[in-house]
Amino acid sequence: MSDKISLAIMTREMCHELYKSWENDESIYMDMSLFKPYTYKEKSVNKYFDSKQEPFRRLFAIMLGDKPIGEVQLKSIDQSKKECTLSIHMQNDNFKGKGYGTEAERLAVRYAFDELGMKAVNADTVVKNVRSQHILDKLGFEFIGKEGDFKYYRLENAE
Ligand SMILES: CC(C)(COP(=O)(O)OP(=O)(O)OC[C@H]1O[C@@H](n2cnc3c(N)ncnc32)[C@H](O)[C@@H]1OP(=O)(O)O)[C@@H](O)C(=O)NCCC(=O)NCCS
C-alpha cells in the first residue's frame, strides 16, 4: 500500500462529502430484499450525522490525504467493562481491495486501546461477509461463535 491513510473525527462537512459518492455494499445484507442502492439526500445525512454524536460512540472518517473514503466507528463504548464494538464501511468500490480497510481497522483498534483505554474490541459480520472475516482474522481477532446470521469476533488488548 503506497498511499497512507489516517482517521479523523468525522465532521458534518466530511460526512456530506463521504455520502455524496456513497454506494451501499451487498456484502452486509443477509436478506437481499432489504438492499437498496444509496441516494444522497442532504437532510438524511444531517440526521445521520446528528444521530451518531453520542458519548458512547466515536465516528471517524477514513482519510486518504484530505479526502474521506470511508467511515469506521467504535460503538457501544463501555467505560466500566472497557470494551467497544468496531464497524466499518468504505465509500464505494473505488476504495476497496487496496488495503485501506485493513489499515483503518488497525488504526481504530489502536485508538480504542491507546486513547480510550479499552481492554477489548468486539466485531460482528454477517455470515456471508468472508472479506470482512478475513481482515478480522488477519488483525488477530478471535472467532467467538456464530448465532443466526452473524459471526462474532473479539480482540483483547495484549499489552
Ligand atoms: C470490509 C471493507 C471495510 C474492507 O476494506 P477493503 O479496503 O476493501 O479491504 P482490504 O483491501 O484492506 O483487504 C481485503 C482483504 O480481504 C481479502 N478478500 C477480498 N475478498 C475476499 C473474499 N471473498 N474472501 C476472502 N478474502 C477476501 C483480500 O484478499 C484482502 O486480504 P489480503 O490483504 O490478505 O490479500 C470494505 O470492503 C467494505 O467497506 N465492505 C463493505 C462494508 C463491510 O463489509 N463492512 C464490514 C461489515 S462487518
CA of 43 to the centre of ligand 1 (A): 30
27 lines ligand 1 (CB under 6 A): yes
CATH number of 5-156: 3.40.630.30
Mean pLDDT of all residues in 126-143: 98
Coil vs helix vs strand at 29: coil
Residue-wise pLDDT for 13-59, tens only, equals 999 999 999 999 999 999 999 999 999 999 999 999 999 999 999 99
Atom of ligand 1 nearest to the CA of 124: 48
How big is the chain by its Cα radius of gyration, in Å?
Answer: 15
- In whole angstroms, give the CA distance from residue 117 to residue 47: 29
Average of per-residue pLDDT across 114-142: 98
pLDDT-derived band at 3, boundaries 50, 70, 90? confident
The residues spanned by each domain of the chain are: 5-156
Contacts with 140 (C-beta within 8 Å, 6 or more apart), sequence order: 155
Residue 69 Cα to ligand 1 midpoint, Å, equals 14
pTM attached to this predicted model: 0.97
